Chains A and B, each alone.
Chain A
Amino acid sequence: MLFNSYEFLFAFLPVVLVGWWSIRPPPARLAFLTASSYFFYAWWDWLFLPLMLASTTVDYVAGRALVALDDDEPRRRVVLVAALTANLAMLGYFKYAGFFVDSLDGIGSTLGLGAPFPELGIVLPIGISFYTFNSMSYTIDIFRREVQPARSLLHYAAFVSMFPHLIAGQTLRYSTIDGQLRRLTPRLTWELAASGMFFLSCGLVKKLLIADTLAPHVDRLFARHDHLGVVAGWTAAVGYALQLYFDFSGYSDMAVGLAFLLGFRFPQNFNSPYKSVNISDFWRRWHMSLSFWLRDYLFIPLGGSRSGRWLTLRNLVVTMFLGGLWHGAAWTFVVWGLLHGALLIGHNLLRRAGLTPPWTALNRSITFACVAALFVIFRAPNLHGAGDVLSAMAGLDGLDSPAAVQTLVGLPLALGIAALLAFVNLAPNTWEVELRPRPVYGLALGGALAAAVLTIGNPSPFIYFRF
C-alpha cells in the first residue's frame, strides 16, 4: 500500500488512527499497531510476510540470548554472528542472488560460454533492505550493550513493522523508539495532530506535486539518452536529482507526520542536502539515517578515521561501495557508490592540503554538480545509458539544436527546474519551518493537500521502494 493512494489516505489511515487512539491497554494498542502494519505490508504481497516475521523472530531471540549470555563473551559472539548471518543470507538471497548469477552469466558470455546459469527470477520483497538493517542494528546494539532488549516480542515486532517507516522510511534504531514504545502517548493532542498533518501534507505535496510532475519529463530524457546534447543532458541530471530529493524526502516527511499522528517521534532524514558545501557534508544531510547507520556499523568498526590516512581512505571506499550496493543489485549502484567513495577521498585529500575553495556558493555549486552527475549513474538503466548522458553533459555530443531543446526540454520544464533549484538552495526545509498554527496557514496547506491528493489517479511508487 502506498502512502499516496486513496486506500491508504481514506481507508487504512483513518481506521488505524481511530483504533489506535480508542484502545486503552498498551499491549492491546501495540498488538493493534503491529497487526495493522502487517496488513499494510501484506497488501503488497502477503507471501512475503513470513519473511519479515522470520527476520523479526531471529533478532528478537538473538537479543534475548545476548542478554542471557551476558558473562560469556565467546558465545555472545557466536550468537551475534549467527543472527547477522541469517539477516545477510536473507538479504543476499532475495536481493543479490539474481545479480550474482546474471554477472556470472555475463562473464560466461564474454568468454564464449553462453549463459551457463538459468535466470533466477527472484522477486525482491519490498522494504527488505530497510527492515533488515533495522533488525541488524538492534542485535549489534545489544551486543555492544548500548541498548536494552525489547520488553517483549510484541514491542520488537511493533518496532520492525511500524508502517510509517516500514517500506522506505528512516533506518530506525531500536534505541530511538524503545522509550516511546514503553511509554505510549496516552492521547492525541491538537499539537501532535497539527505537527502530524503539517509533515504529512508537506510530504504529499513534495511527492505528488513536485516529484511526480518531474518524473515523466525526466523519464523522457533518460529514455532518449543517446540523443541528448549538453543542455538536455544537464536537464536530465538536475531534473532527476530534484525528483529523487522531493520523492524521498517527501516520503520521509510523510513518515514523520504519520509517526506524530500515532504519538511517536522519528528522526530527521534530510537536512537540505543540496545546500551541502562538500561531499562529506552532503552525506551528513542526505538519507541521514542510512549515512549514520553505515558510519556506526561499518565505517567505525572498520577502523574509521583513527587508523591512519590510507586506512581511512580504504574505509571510506569500502563503506561507500557497500552503501551503493545496499541501494540495489546492479553495477550502476556499485559504480555510483565507488565514485562517491572516490569523491570523499578527493575531498579528504584536498581538505588536508588546504586546497578547498573558500567560497560557499562555489562549493555548493561544485558539490551539487558532482552529486547530480553521479545520480545519472544511479538513475540510468545500465552503465551504457549512464555513459551517454554523462558524455552529453560533458559536451562530448555537442550543443543541442534549438529544435531539440524545444522538444526535449521546453520552457516550462526549464523554468520549473530553475524555480526548484532556487527553492532547495534558499528555502528552509520542512524541519526548519517554524509552524505557526493559524487558520490561514491551515487554509493554504489544506488547499495544497487537496491539490496533491487530486493528482493521485494512478499512484506511482516511491523511488526508494525498490531498494
Chain B
Amino acid sequence: MHEAVASNRRRRAGSTGQSDPLAGHAEPLDSASAGSPRRFVVTLLATALGTIAAVFFVNVLVDPYGTVGTNLLASGVPRDPSTKAALIKQLGSPPQLVVLGSSRSLKVQPSYLHRLTGDTVFNAGVRDATPVEEYALIHFIHDRFPGAGIHWLWLLDVEAFRSDTISPELLDSADLAPYVSRTDRLTSRFKGIVDLLSWRALEDSLSAIRASGHSSQPPLSGADMTARRIQHLIARSDGFAPDGFYTRVDYDWNKGMRKYEAMYGDGTLYTHLHSLPKTYLERALADLNRWGEAPVIVLTPMHPELKRELAPVGWAARHRELVSYLHELRARFRFRFLDFTSVRSFGGTPGGFYDPVHMREPNLHRMLSAIARRAGDAL
C-alpha cells in the first residue's frame, strides 16, 4: 500500500503540475527576511489593541446609550420607557384602555380612541418596543392600578421579534427594568457593553459630547427614579403629552427606508423570530388572562413600497411565521388578533404615511376605526 501510494502521488503530481503536496501553500516568513517578525507582531497587536481600548474607554466614559451608568453626560437616546413610566405615575386614575406598541403607535391619539370607545385612554407606546417592553409596562400599570380591568390594544410589529437583546432604554428604567428577569438583564447589559467596542458608538459618543455643549439639562440616565428626576422627565418629556401621545413630527422617508433595508439586509440578518420576545409575549398573555383581561393584538402596517422591497429578503417569511405563531398562541391564550400589515386591509392609503412605517392621522383613524369595529367588546 505504501509503495502504491508513493507511486500514485508521483504520477498525479506529474499530471497536475504539482510536485509538492504543499505547493501553493502559504510559507511563513523566512527568519532571514529583512526586519524583525517579533517587533512586527508586537507593534501590530499593540496598535490594534491600543486603538480598540482607547475607543472603548471613551465610549464607557461618555456612555452614549446609558449602558454603563457613568452619568457624566446626557444620553443621546430617547428614554421612552422611563418617560412613559413617569407619565403613568402622574395618572390620577387608571386608564380604561392602554395602547401598547412601538414608534408606529406613538401617534395614536388617546382622544380619538376615547371618541370611538368611550374609554379613558393612555398611550404607552415606546420607540423600538418589543414584547419585553410591553411585558414590563403591562406589569407596571397593573401594579399601579391592580384590578382595574383595563382593555389593552397591542400594536405589534413584525420586526419586534428580531433580537434577543433588551434595549438599554428599558434596562435604564428603574421602574420597568425589575420586571425583566435578572439573567436576561445581565445578558443584555453585557451585550450592551460589548456594543461600546465600535466606531458607531464612538460617533454617538462624540454626538453626545457635542450635544452636551448645547444643553443645560442634567443627565437623565441612572438608576434612581427620584422625584426630582421625574419632574425633569415630565418637563422634558421628549415630546410626549400627559396621555402619552407623541406631539412631534420628526420623520424622514429616506432614513426610514435605510433603517429597514439595513434590518433585513439581503435576507441573512432577520432569519427567524427570536425566543426572548416570544417568551415575554407568552408571559404577558398568560398574566393578562390570569387577571381576566384579553388584549387585542394588531399587526401594524408598513408602506406598500417598503413591503414590496422587504418581502423577498425575509419580511414575507417572518410575517408568515409570526401569523402562524400567533394562531398557535390562540389555542393557549385569550386574545383578539387582527392582521393589518396591508394598508388595504383597513381601508388605508399609501399616501397616508409620514415615512415607510409611520402613518399620518387619516390612516391611523381608519385603522383604529377598523379595530374598534372588529374587536367588538374587547376594547
Contacts and interface: CB of A to CB of B under 8 A. Distances in A.
A450 B51 contact: yes
A15 B164 CA distance: 26
Contact of B194 (A6, A256, A265): A6
Interface residues of B, number: 59
B266 interface: yes
A404 interface: no
Contact of A438 (B28, B34, B195): B34
A219 B195 CA distance: 24
B1 A193 contact: no
Interface residues of A, number: 67
A195 B28 contact: yes
A438 B35 CA distance: 5
B26 A256 contact: yes
A446 B45 contact: yes
Contact of A192 (B16, B28, B36, B261): B28
A437 B40 contact: yes
A268 interface: yes
Contact of A219 (B40, B41, B266): B266
28 contacts: A145-B8, A146-B5, A190-B37, A193-B41, A195-B29, A197-B41, A219-B313, A223-B261, A223-B309, A223-B312, A260-B28, A267-B24, A268-B25, A296-B16, A385-B312, A437-B35, A442-B42, A442-B44, A443-B43, A443-B47, A446-B46, A449-B48, A450-B47, A450-B49, A450-B50, A450-B51, A453-B48, A454-B198
Nearest to A381: B312
B48 A260 contact: no
A266 B26 contact: yes
B227 interface: no
B264 to A, nearest CB: 8
A439 interface: yes
Q: Chain B's interface: helix, strand, loop or mixed, by majority? A: helix
Nearest to B54: A450
A437 B26 contact: no
Interface stretch (A273-281, A310-318, A456-464): A456-464
Q: Chain A's interface: helix, strand, loop or mixed, by majority? A: helix
Interface in A257-290: 259-260, 265-268, 288
B64 to A, nearest CB: 13
A267 B25 contact: yes
A445 B198 CA distance: 18
Interface of B: 1-2, 4-5, 8-9, 12, 16, 21-22, 24-31, 33-52, 55, 194-195, 197-202, 258, 261-262, 265-269, 309-310, 312-313
A454 B265 contact: no
Contacts of A259: 26
Contacts of A223: 261, 309-310, 312-313
A439 B26 contact: no
Contacts of B195: 457
A442 B269 CA distance: 34
A450 B28 CA distance: 23
Contacts of B42: 442
A185 B27 CA distance: 14
A445 B46 CA distance: 11
Given A191-B29, A223-B309, A381-B267, A453 B52 contact: yes
A193 B37 contact: yes
